[in-house]
Amino acid sequence: MFTGIVTSIGEVRSVKPRADNLHRITIACDYPRADIDRGASIACSGVCLTVVDTGEEGGRTWFAVDAAAETLRVTTVGRWRTGSRINLERALKFGEELGGHLMAGHVDGIATVVGREDMTEMARFVLRAPRELARFIATKGSVALDGVSLTVNAVEGDTFSVLVIPHTLRVTTFGALHKGEDVNLEVDTMARYAARLAEMK
């Protein structure tokens, strides 16, 4: 499980296609190598991926993950290239502060930025969600966008907006996010269960 509080920005060092439409992706990060175990889960721009190897190069830690065909299809992982910057979060440990909202790292789909407004104290992003996921997004509810826990500001049809404070713009990839770009979307698990219960009535 994750909380949507980004703790490092990683940089893709290499993407190597392997058998069965599997991609081996190497990511440089600021985490100490000793803190990353093989088999650990790391949310990479919201996608829970398993560490298969680690190392150090040029004074930085790197870790490698394998992305399978379904992950490449449903998320933006298949578009990552050398130099791509991604939000990172290590898995939540019991007893740690829950600063965002509980997330599984199981991306539901891709949302597209249709507008960005930079204001004095924050930035407002307007995004379009896939129609089948829009019903799970509600005003004042939670969403995860590229692994960042955010509160929904407003909803209109299949579009919704979020407000991002300067700190989040600075410590995540959102500072460089612009209109027309896609982000990984994970809807709130509670919203999904509530919708399912409503369907059963």
Q: Kindly list the structural domains of the chain, giving each domain's residue range(s) and its CATH number in brackets, ordered by start.
A: 8-90 (2.40.30.20), 109-200 (2.40.30.20)
Q: Which of 50, 112, 159, 189 is catalytic?
A: 50
Query: pLDDT of the chain along its 201 residues, tens only?
Result: 788 899 999 999 999 998 888 999 999 999 999 999 999 999 999 999 999 999 999 889 999 999 999 999 999 999 999 999 999 999 876 656 666 677 778 899 999 999 999 998 899 999 999 999 999 999 999 999 999 999 999 999 999 999 999 999 999 999 999 999 999 999 987 666 566 666 666
**68 classed as catalytic:** yes
Is 178 designated active site?
Answer: no
| DSSP codes joined into one string, the chain | -B-S---EEEEEEEEEEEGGGEEEEEEEESS-GGG--TT-EEEETTEEEEEEEEEEETTEEEEEEEE-HHHHHHSSGGG--TT-EEEEEEPP-TTS---S--B-S---EEEEEEEEEE-SS-EEEEEE--HHHHTT--TT-EEEETTEEEEEEEEETTEEEEEE-HHHHHHSGGGG--TT-EEEEEE-HHHHHHHHHHHH-
**76 in active site:** no
